[in-house]
Structure 1
């Protein structure tokens, strides 16, 4: 059995109490390789998604440095909105940083047939600003749909201790269906929120589109940090 002492990937966690179900980036069982976690005190989902991220930058850097000191050779985070601080994290930590699932958008778009776009599903379209999208390299004109007002968003942003998984799944499928109905040129869906990963198969089944997430991103990222041996 692998141990977190063997971890090459360090994950900076928001300060949360909602359930981290299997598939969630914050559940160690979601990964086929060891990971090491560090919580950033006070960095709640609401603070990072809805408020000013700047007061927490120093704390993210400090937590990242601790992970690097423990042997991690790459750092990731548990919120897509942290794309804004990726350059500063990478400079301060001196190792590769995968801060947001959104950073895959350009690569995904390059794989699509001509005329198709990457559609973004986010926990809060109202606060996912052009600055966030630019920082992550999301192609101009990528449609964005949010889950504002949903049970899922209220649980995550409210940092509630209980999660209605069935309702969250329904919320996700409804939002994804609306995204592709409004934008039929969406050829693939990218999940901004790291807590959306458990519902990716349901979204793919409902929309008929490939679905990308922080899980697909970090599996690729980790493959570079620790290439697999085949012999």
Structure 2
């Protein structure tokens, strides 16, 4: 499944979970996210990688297929690789070691570079300390999850083809407002979930904080990669 890639042009490789829930523009797994940014992209699905297996079970049997997907994208000419689930930060080292191009698995990787970050996650109960540590998240970084069973969480875990986007936005905003209410020292909000970027502007408005997610991180990484490539060509 391709985005806007053509021929031998270098492209962004996106390793995508095996899902069918709606992905509006901004979602990392939506081809339109990359089309609107003018970034050639190829999306590669990992069969059997459901949100439940990746997020809640963190099934080690999936590591091999994710590595295979990364290697396949790199062999096809990807100059940068990302994923469609922030919890894959737990396998950042393994995926990066498998390919010769940069891999950015998760928005969590930028937490150490941001002032007083706080995290809004898809599932706080599953975002355990060991995973945060592997992502380089500073100890003590506040974390707030979506309300268990809310629209966005329940639809994704059930892999439902229906999603109330307005309610999903309210779910994300509510978690972000709760985060800064409980932890007023938070200066920067980081959206862990790759399905949350469509609601970034609403979170910024509601919290009064700058918001970072995987879309913003990848747009910056792509610009750096293109700038570096241009300098080498010159």
Q: Deviations over 1:49-105 (max 9, x none)?
A: 000331001101111111111110221111110011111111112221101110010
Give the structure 1 partner of residue 21 of structure 2.
18
- Output the CA distance in 1 between the equivalents of 2:154 and 2:175: 15
- Output the CA distance in 2 between the equivalents of 1:123 and 1:73: 28
- Output the CA distance in 2 between the equivalents of 1:81 and 1:73: 22
Residues 5 and 42 in structure 2, CA contact (< 8 A), matched pair in contact too: no
Give the structure 1 partner of residue 200 of structure 2.
200
The answer to whether residue 143 in structure 2 is matched with residue 127 in structure 1 is no
Q: Deviations over 1:29-65 (max 9, x none)?
A: 2121111110000011000000033100110111111
The answer to whether residue 99 in structure 2 is matched with residue 98 in structure 1 is no
> Secondary structure at 1:199's aligned position in 2?
helix
TM-score (norm 1): 0.92
Instruction: Specify which of 16, 29, 33 is matched with residue 30 of structure 1.
Output: 33
- Output the CA distance in 2 between the equivalents of 1:195 and 1:7: 25
The answer to whether residue 8 in structure 2 is matched with residue 3 in structure 1 is no
Q: Deviations over 1:110-136 (max 9, x none)?
A: xxxxxxx21100000000011111111
Question: Which ranges of 4 or more aligned residues in structure 1 deviate by more than 2 Å?
Answer: 1-8, 228-231
The alpha carbon displacement at 1:159 in A equals 1.1
Give the structure 2 partner of residue 167 of structure 1.
167
Gaps of 5+ in 2: none
Residues 4 and 35 in structure 1, CA contact (< 8 A), matched pair in contact too: no
Q: Which moved more, 1:131-140 or 1:5-14?
A: 5-14
Residues 188 and 209 in structure 2, CA contact (< 8 A), matched pair in contact too: yes
- Output the CA distance in 2 between the equivalents of 1:88 and 1:2: 28
The alpha carbon displacement at 1:225 in A equals 2.4
- Output the CA distance in 2 between the equivalents of 1:187 and 1:4: 40
Aligned residues: 224
Pair 1:30–1:15, CA change in 2 (3 A) = same
The alpha carbon displacement at 1:4 in A equals 4.6
The alpha carbon displacement at 1:8 in A equals 2.4
Gaps of 5+ in 1: 110-116
